[in-house]
């Protein structure tokens, strides 16, 4: 297995390549996902104004109380549902999905699935 720095550099290269074609507008903001070793962070960003409209992570108190024991994928799905619910309250129903250079697999896919189940369109 490669060094952590090589993995990080490879992810950042993928991120730059993907972000060339992704841009969040007011009508269709960008749903950005970040995955650390322990936690998931998701935010919906309007790139034109440079504002974060909605955010959720596994660190938020209301999500921590509902977390399933042990499973990171289940927690990621819960974060996806929470961010979609908050987005709907703000009137955002369509987004552009930004996986941030991470592979669309596991926890990243779980966030997307949770958000779609809650009614977010992408």
Q: What are phi and psi of 105, to 5 degrees?
A: -160, 150
Over its C-alpha atoms, the chain yields an Rg (Å, rounded) of 14
* Max Cα–Cα distance, the chain, nearest Å: 44
**Per-residue model confidence as pLDDT tens digits over 25-48:** 888 999 999 999 999 999 999 999
Angle between helices 107-117 and 72-89 (to 10 degrees): 40
Third-level CATH fold of 4-117:
Nucleotidyltransferase; domain 5 (3.30.420)
Other CB atoms within a 10 A radius of the CB of residue 37 amount to 5
pLDDT higher than 60, residue 1:
no
Domain boundaries, the chain: 4-117
Least confident of 2-6, 96-100, 101-105, 114-118: 2-6
For residue 2, name the pLDDT band (cuts at 50, 70, 90).
low
Q: Are residues 42 and 31 in contact, defined by beta-carbon separation less than 8 angstroms?
A: yes
């Amino acid at each position: 297995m490669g060094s952590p720095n090589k993995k990080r550099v490879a992810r950042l290269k993928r991120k730059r390549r993907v972000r060339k074609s992704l841009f969040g507008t007011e009508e269709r903001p960008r749903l950005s996902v970040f995955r650390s070793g322990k936690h998931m962070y998701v935010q919906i960003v309007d790139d034109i104004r440079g504002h974060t409209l909605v955010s959720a992570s596994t660190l938020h108190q209301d999500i921590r109380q509902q977390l399933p024991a042990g499973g990171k994928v289940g927690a990621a799905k819960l974060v996806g549902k929470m961010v979609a619910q908050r987005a709907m309250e703000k009137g955002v129903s369509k987004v552009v999905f930004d996986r941030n250079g991470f592979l669309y697999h596991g926890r990243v896919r779980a966030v997307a699935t949770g958000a779609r189940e809650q009614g977010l369109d992408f």
